[in-house]
Structure 1
Amino acid sequence: MVHHIEAYHDSVLRVKLQNECTDGDISYVHVVIESDEEISFPQVQLAWHYPAVNIQAYWHPGSFRNKSLGVDWSKGFSSKGTVVAPVGCFLSSDGRNRLAIAYSNAIETVNFHMGIREEDGTIRCQITLFSEPSKPMKRYEGTIRIDQRDIPFEQAIQAISYWYESMDAYRPCMIPKAATFPMYSTWYSFHQELVDKEIEQQCRMAKEIGCDTVIVDDGWQTTDNQRGYAYCGDWEVAHQKIGNMKAHVQKVQAMGMKYILWYSMPFIGLHSKAWDTYKDKLLGYREHLQAGVLDPRYPEVREYLISTYETALNEWGVDGFKLDFIDEFDLNKANDKALEKDGRRDFDSVQEAVECLLEGIFARLHARKADVMIEFRQKYIGPFMRRFGNIFRVADCPNDAVTNRVGTIDLRLFSGNTAVHSDMLMWSPEDTVENAALQLINVLFAVPQLSMRFEKLPPEHIEMTKFWLKFWRENRDVLLFGELRAEAPELLYPNVQARNSSKVVMAVFGSPYVKVVEPGNKKLFIMNGTLHQELVLDVDRELPNRVVEIYDCCGNLVSMAPLAVQKVPHRLKVKPSGLAILTCLK
């Protein structure tokens, strides 16, 4: 049972909490906050306690590699439309949901403050509203969803995602087919040192390897290669790098590749031509970046940004946009001037202004190109952002396969049908091919992005990459769209699997032990995401009439033989980063 929810607030407010309805072990607590006068509401805290029984981990959309329970005196995390979501799930060590909590308002700032209370061994659950100034109002409503069902934690998280989808404020946008195929990015491979002919060369190789889209990142708009943002804001092509953008885009598209272009959405550089126009319409200035953060509460700021992307679509014929740093639209980081009243603004709330901005961007781009792709990356990946973006990417984690795995699985669990992409893959050309293969295997339950200079890779690295992208494409139906299970988030998902009516694809990343439940007659793929030389296969029944194919990490067939009918477990000699395929004999 959820204990009684207490509300802590300023006395000028009236707070009513009503148990709206109960659906099995799911409760909905309706929150109504009222004032006699139209005011900016002060903070309101909603708190209750829950017994910490059989709870060993805590998942939330921004938890990344830290799935620890935490303590009730910690800061918790804040969410808003452009930063994660007000969602948390406490689970047991066997992956069962114990308590999944979500709050209906995923647009305005909400603080989730959940952790162990030392005094009595309970979890103190606290949701704080209005931690930053609200627009003046007399009435506010919201709903707390509390799920105590004994179900797999993945299902509890996915159910929250479906709950948001059912609300008009969070209807996801369409997902172009192209968004669900591998992509090549220029960021790690070029950084800002872009040259059109070199981009085209990489695109030809990327297409041959198995990528269908290029994302041209930072650098196309400036000759300054210091990795700052002092020259952002004009969004004119640096012709020393790309002589003719339209012709360049068409050359890439003629290869069968889509073309996505990067923009740092909120930044206006100190040395841009647009600086003088917008320097007094900023939320703040970032000295270390030599750039200001545009204030979207000004209608002319919104129109400037929208028309910038619309122009790129119309004049250059690009297929999509990577819109970066959206979480920088943050009133908590604003300077004093941005906190003062200004009659030129048509919004008081930054989040409402961002919503208006994103609505304008998506509507005008979608009207021009129905299948336009828009990429956002962690942390701007919640239900609100699904209205405007059809690609969610893992935050930057170069050469870090484990963080990439955790990021892709976290996103897959909470993002519905939005295309989830890995961070761009890169590794040292001097590394072993088995180690390089781990970069791919760790992200195959999402859409891989790559960012390597392919001509610098050894031939075996190229063959390995081709093999795993070919495997991904052949099994995309189950890897992206099958039922996803991911064990032990607190241990960074050491076992992941996806299944549909005909296939089961499994991957192990820690121990070489593989537990298979109810394989039936389905074709079984087991990826060895370890450097062990053997996999130990344990099944809940014998697997007669199966042939086993073993491949190394480059796709070379190592062995093929019937699976010995014996007592489990089976011991399969699978090389590091290799693959075992078990097929029923007809």
Structure 2
Amino acid sequence: PEWIKGFMSKVTSQAPVCSLHSFSGRNRLTFAFSDALRATEIRVGVHEETAMLHCSIKLFLEPSPPLKVYEATLRLDTRDIPYYESLEQVQQWWAAQPGYQPARVPETARLPMYSTWYSFHQGLVASQIEEQCGLAKALGCEAVIVDDGWQTTSNERGYAYTGDWEVASEKISDMRAHVAKVHQLGMKYILWYSVPFVGKHSKAWSNFAGKTLEVIDRLGAGVLDPRFPEVREYIIATYERALRDWDLDGFKLDFVDSFNFRKQEYVQGQDYLSVPEAVDRLLADVIERLRKIKPDIMVEFRQTYIGPLMRKYGNMFRAGDCPNDALTNRERTLDIRLLCGSTAAHSDMLMWHRDEPVESAALQIVNILFAVPQISLLLNALPEQHLEMARFWLSFWREHRDVLLDGKLMPLHPEAMYPLVIATTPTKRIAVTYADTVINPGSDLPADFIIVNGTLGKGVVLEFTENTGTWQLEIRDCRGQVFSTGQVLLGKGLHRIDVPPVGAATLHRS
């Protein structure tokens, strides 16, 4: 028998790549496919009789127009290099393909944001959003993402009222004035839309009868069929109108992975047979037409629609929902980082219980240091210690994002959910440990070396392969308060530094 597992990749789901690596993180085989548009099945597994790995790619899983010629490239990499270097070169290879050029990333997309989802869910109130924005701005957030709820008075979580995209005046009486108030605070405004859904209780429902891919009864909504040009035009015109009328700065475009193929027959009025090709046309037209209105438009997509083609439609990739789950948030943000190149990788919205010890709350932020933080709590309900902690770590993140976002990223031991992550530039190196493990920071250390204790333990252990000399040392706790300072000689071998739980040690060599 063959113990094979697989996954499907297409334009709006996953990416056609697989990395097989050793327990030491060395690449053994990374294979990637050039066609990220059409549905393909990637399968890898052990052949029991031989202990060999069997790998396969299955093409043409969904109907498409007749093709006279089909060309694609299977990229095979068996070099003995770190697995993350092989994946980095895969994303560069995709980005260089015709039609795959990533969208430009505005500066705000690379800065912390406040989200309303976990703090308000659908219970939005304009004045309360504005209050939270003021508090979030003081913490270091530069944009707000107003999530589901602005378009409906129903707070029942379903999507039966999606599709018309009219503001629920009971919640936000004047959307343009509300957005202007947020702008006056110095923050950008991003608004949520569920791209494919048209709700059974919407006025649009009857307009698109017979033009849905499926109806999802549990959600109270249908999935619009993008193969109809009038469906695509309705969606795009909705966003254009909102952008102009309300002076938005971006869109959180959700549930794009719900455009799944269900019908094989061609229906009169469709100008595409292939659903992935129609989605490609829809999203390409969305970003092109929105850019004509605002060149710096921001568009967020959520895992799992974070493949190489999605980079040309959007400039923010967010980790899939994992509320109050620091470990999963770490794993998902780093998974995104390994393949997203310059596209801004965002954490799932950070939230925690206000009664948690401040160190436990700090773990939520420290676990996503290598992505752009999104915060989603009622900030006026947090204890002062929690606010002090959040202020410190967001300030730390902004000060060092040149390394955290733009340095060479080395997420070690993916099989163990990345317990040690290192990022480096010629002038600064940061190592974050998330487990009780020895940190080997590598050789040729730059003048600034920062160690973050991403655990609740008291102290970190480093192992140097060479004498690194004398360093100025400053240690801070999770709230940014100075714990100790001094000089330390770090010679070859093991060294323990007493870094408080979820604190940081900064070493500087003059």
TM-score (norm 1): 0.86
- Structure 1 consecutive aligned stretches of length 4 or more whose deviation exceeds 3 Å: 71-75, 564-567
Tell me the SS of whatever aligns to 1:261.
Answer: strand
1:406 aligns with 2:331: yes
Tell me the SS of whatever aligns to 1:478.
Answer: helix
1:251 aligns with 2:181: yes
Q: Deviations over 1:191-225 (max 9, x none)?
A: 00000000000000000011000000000000000
**What pairs up with 1:555-570 in 2 under 5 angstroms?**
555-564=480-489, 568-570=493-495
Tell me the SS of whatever aligns to 2:328.
Answer: helix
Residue 170 of structure 2 aligns with an amino acid whose one-letter code is Q
Distance in 2 between residues matched to 1:219 and 1:207, nearest whole Å: 22
Residue 97 of structure 1 aligns with an amino acid whose one-letter code is N
Contact 2:463 2:492 (C-alpha < 8 Å) held by counterparts:
no
Distance in 2 between residues matched to 1:291 and 1:73, nearest whole Å: 38
| Aligned with 2:13 (options 60, 72, 83) | 83
Residue 121 of structure 2 corresponds to which residue in structure 1? 191
Tell me the SS of whatever aligns to 1:271.
Answer: coil
1:571 aligns with 2:501: no
Q: 1:475 to 1:565 in 2, by over 3 A?
A: closer
User: Offset of 1:75 from its aligned partner?
Assistant: 4.3
Tell me the SS of whatever aligns to 2:506.
Answer: strand
User: Offset of 1:522 from its aligned partner?
Assistant: 2.2
Residue 308 of structure 1 aligns with an amino acid whose one-letter code is T
| Aligned with 2:91 (options 143, 157, 161) | 161
Tell me the SS of whatever aligns to 1:425.
Answer: coil
Q: Deviations over 1:431-466 (max 9, x none)?
A: 000000000001011100010000111100000000
1:343 aligns with 2:268: yes
Count of aligned pairs: 510
Residue 241 of structure 2 corresponds to which residue in structure 1? 311
Which stretch has the larger CA shift, 561-570 or 315-324?
A: 561-570
**What pairs up with 1:77-476 in 2 under 5 angstroms?**
77-331=7-261, 334=262, 338-476=263-401
Q: Deviations over 1:254-307 (max 9, x none)?
A: 111000000000000000011000121000000100000000000000000000
Q: Which runs of 5+ in 1 are unaligned?
A: 1-70
Which stretch has the larger CA shift, 303-312 or 132-141?
A: 132-141
TM-score (norm 2): 0.99
Contact 1:512 1:528 (C-alpha < 8 Å) held by counterparts:
no
Question: Which structure has more strand as a fraction of its residues?
Answer: 1
Tell me the SS of whatever aligns to 2:349.
Answer: strand
Contact 1:279 1:292 (C-alpha < 8 Å) held by counterparts:
no
Residue 525 of structure 1 corresponds to which residue in structure 2? 450
Identity %: 50
Tell me the SS of whatever aligns to 2:223.
Answer: strand
| Aligned with 1:482 (options 388, 404, 407) | 407
Distance in 2 between residues matched to 1:516 and 1:281, nearest whole Å: 57
Tell me the SS of whatever aligns to 2:159.
Answer: coil
User: Offset of 1:542 from its aligned partner?
Assistant: 2.3
User: Offset of 1:471 from its aligned partner?
Assistant: 0.4
Tell me the SS of whatever aligns to 1:460.
Answer: helix
C-alpha RMSD over aligned residues: 1.1
Tell me the SS of whatever aligns to 2:505.
Answer: strand
Residue 18 of structure 1 corresponds to which residue in structure 2? none
Contact 1:214 1:258 (C-alpha < 8 Å) held by counterparts:
yes
Q: Deviations over 1:226-268 (max 9, x none)?
A: 0000000000000000010000001001111000000000000
Tell me the SS of whatever aligns to 1:138.
Answer: coil
Q: Deviations over 1:462-484 (max 9, x none)?
A: 00000000000111111100000
Tell me the SS of whatever aligns to 1:100.
Answer: strand
Contact 1:512 1:534 (C-alpha < 8 Å) held by counterparts:
no
Q: 1:521 to 1:383 in 2, by over 3 A?
A: closer
Distance in 1 between residues matched to 2:67 and 2:346, nearest whole Å: 40
Distance in 2 between residues matched to 1:535 and 1:493, nearest whole Å: 16
Residue 286 of structure 2 aligns with an amino acid whose one-letter code is I
User: Offset of 1:498 from its aligned partner?
Assistant: 0.7
Q: 1:512 to 1:488 in 2, by over 3 A?
A: closer
Distance in 1 between residues matched to 2:156 and 2:490, nearest whole Å: 62
